[in-house]
Structure 1
Amino acid sequence: MGARPEQWASGEDYQRYMGRWSRLAAVEFLRGLPPLPGAVWCDVGCGTGSLTQTILATERPTRVLGVDPSAQFLAAAALRSDGRAEFRLGSAAAIPAADGEFDRVVSALVLNFVPDPRAALAEMIRVTRPAGLVASYVWDYADGMDMIRLFWDAAIELDPAAAAVDEGARFPLCRPEPLRELFGSAGLTRVRAGQVEVDTVFAGFEDFWRPFLGGQGPAPGYCTSLPEDHRAALRERLRATTPRNASGAVPLRARAWTVQGCMP
């Protein structure tokens, strides 16, 4: 068995799989940043707009620019926006903005997916003004993202080759020390790493399982690449190992590692 590359196209499928939980983490992430009413923000790799919308709702920005390489994700973000944000095609390695344009440059669940995190961070720094702030968060794939950990533990039990696409092994950056080192080595000051935790409660097993059929991201990409009988076996293995409470809901937790640093 194998896995196809990650797909990032369907905003609706991504929102069902990860966007709804990213929004919860975004609220806690922003609470950990120093307040700056009236700031100009850039959301790098904005996806379907979870972090952008949270900035608009909680931070009183002057302006927010969302940047993403997926036109489909940008369209979904624009539909969810109230018109106060602008969205442009771009990437973490090529932000369509001028040097020093923003007070706050942030990214959610992006740095581990870019080919060169150091180059991406350098580009984020380029568009941040002196004394501005650069910050990010990534899921703790190895130990703290219950839904993904349950999925890969079941997948690897049935197919040991699945370990090669398990995010916990693929993304060593998604830990406090590597994040702190990345930001510190880029010349940022007052670098701090932290964590946020949110509840990820699914209405039932089907609500937990269905997002893995959307193909958006490593685990869903692996799941949809499987022959039907192998996918059915994985589903039943997960049904047997996923915790449920008395009402049938699946009560899980998700932890994200955060990092921030100031421009000199």
Structure 2
Amino acid sequence: MSEADFPVRSAARARTLVELDGQVVRCRACPRLVAWWEEAARIKRPAFRDWEYWGRPVPGFGPVDAALAVIGLAPAAHGANRTGRMFTGDRAGDLLYATLHGLGLASQPTATRQDDGLALSGVRVTAPVRCAPPQNRPTPGERDTCRPWLARELELLRPTVRCVVVLGAFGWQAVLPALESAGWQVPRPRPRFGHGVRTTLVAADDGAGAPVTLFGCYHVSQRNVFTGRLTPAMLREVLATAAHTAGLAVDRPGAVEPPPPGSAGQP
């Protein structure tokens, strides 16, 4: 099996999410991304010079029977590429997990490393690109090469997942064909991304299986948060609505404060 063929063939063979996650971390299908995360893990950021970087593709995180999936963009070079867990160790994750904790969907408000005790309830966090890209910008070709992992992940979640929150336009463009491959009908023309946009997709196999509701949300990047394009209240509203729609109990209402500068070492 060639490296380029690895995602297609390995994703199709995975019978469980645990098996899928084990295959994801072995992927080397995109040479540019492999070179980048290897370099980041070798050189390191000075603040993390004592860390042993994960330095591999990053699998999804959360229960295998999640009702809500939250889908971002890609691991950060000194965030998830360092810690080995999605949205862990960077400022975007600071806000995301604090918000999930405020809704009663995460066991704690912080995510610093794999062994920090964080657990999610009814929520799985993942991304369409599993390797850290230079300047946080994967190419369309890298997105498409990585698609089998997300498509199979959504297919394996299909018995339980009822809502998907997509963070950002890039993720939205990647998720629609992945949902189609996983067994849902995507209308034509395809729904356009926007913050607060929601659309429901029905099962493609003659109505068998439950529909899934797709929510758009601006990405939790530090740029969006610092400029006010996305506020903690805006994020909380989308996640709370999606969780309620998915049938998850939401509690601990209240505002979520944005993470302080430098809280996770991600500028």
Q: TM-score, normalised by structure 2?
A: 0.30
User: Which one scores higher on RCO, CA 8 angstroms, separation ≥ 6?
Assistant: 1
The TM-score normalised by the length of structure 1 is 0.30
Larger Rg: 1
Give the structure with the larger strand fraction: 1
